Amino acid sequence: MSEKQPRKNPFEGFRVEIDPDRVEETLKQIRDRLQESFQASRYTKVRLSYKGKAIVPDIPLAIFLATEGVAFWLISPLPALLVNLGAKAFLDVEFIHAADELVQEGLSLYMDGEIEEAEKRYRKALDKRPDDPTALYNLGTLLRVSGHEEEAERMLRKAAMGPEGHPDVVRAAEALDRMAGKRKL
């Protein structure tokens, strides 16, 4: 038998040193870090769909969460949980990130020929989520089509390094292969 290991303190690595003369500055730094963290993972809407088709317009996340809270409060936790599980067996619940909305706006603008505005939307999406493969791929494609080969290649390389199997990661790798093939000719 092995001896029981003593439990580690989960906050052992989390240290904040505060200089009494710089309390305000330290608090501002902590606030800024928390805000950056929140912005990077900010979901703004919820999409309810059935078999891949949205059944209602996207719902703001705050309203969705408030509705869930009211259901638990009015109905009681167990019946509300059972209703939720039953509904989720038929409905897909998808959280929409603020960057996703900007990418969709950019794509719409690109399709309408508004290249400069589309580029701005893609760049805003990348400000919110710098490693978004869809925003990187779309921006890379836009830059390639508009003649900015070097920057396009940088964006496509970054997109190609995204999560394995993501459709835009695959498309970015294919676009890079085509670009490399053109250079060889």
Residues pairing with 96 in the sheet:
45
**Is 80 part of a structural domain of the chain?**
yes
- Does residue 171 share a domain with residue 108? yes
Domain range enclosing 90? 43-97
- Does residue 176 share a domain with residue 133? yes
pLDDT band, very low/low/confident/very high, at 93 (cuts 50, 70, 90): low
pLDDT given for residue 124 in this prediction? 93
- Does residue 158 share a domain with residue 148? yes
pLDDT given for residue 51 in this prediction? 75
Model pLDDT for residues 4-49, shown as the tens digit of each residue = 444 444 444 445 555 667 667 766 666 665 555 445 556 667 777 7
Distances (CA, A) of 92 to 46, 55, 68, 88, 140: 10, 10, 16, 6, 31
In the chain, the number of structural domains is 2
- Does residue 108 share a domain with residue 67? no
- Does residue 93 share a domain with residue 103? no
**Is 7 part of a structural domain of the chain?**
no
- Residue that terminates a domain, selected from 64, 80, 97: 97
pTM: 0.58
With CA atoms as reference, report the closest residue to 162 among 152, 153, 150, 171. 171
Q: What's the residue count for the chain?
A: 185
16: CB partners within 8 A, 6+ apart: 26, 30
**Is 28 part of a structural domain of the chain?**
no
More confident residue, 98 or 5: 98
**Is 17 part of a structural domain of the chain?**
no
Cα distance between the two ends of the chain? 68
- pLDDT at 158 > cutoff 90: yes
More confident residue, 23 or 124: 124
Q: Please report, as a single letter, which amino acid is at residue 180.
A: A
Q: What's the mean pLDDT when you consider all of the chain?
A: 75
**Is 29 part of a structural domain of the chain?**
no
- Does residue 127 share a domain with residue 75? no
- Residue that terminates a domain, selected from 77, 97, 117: 97
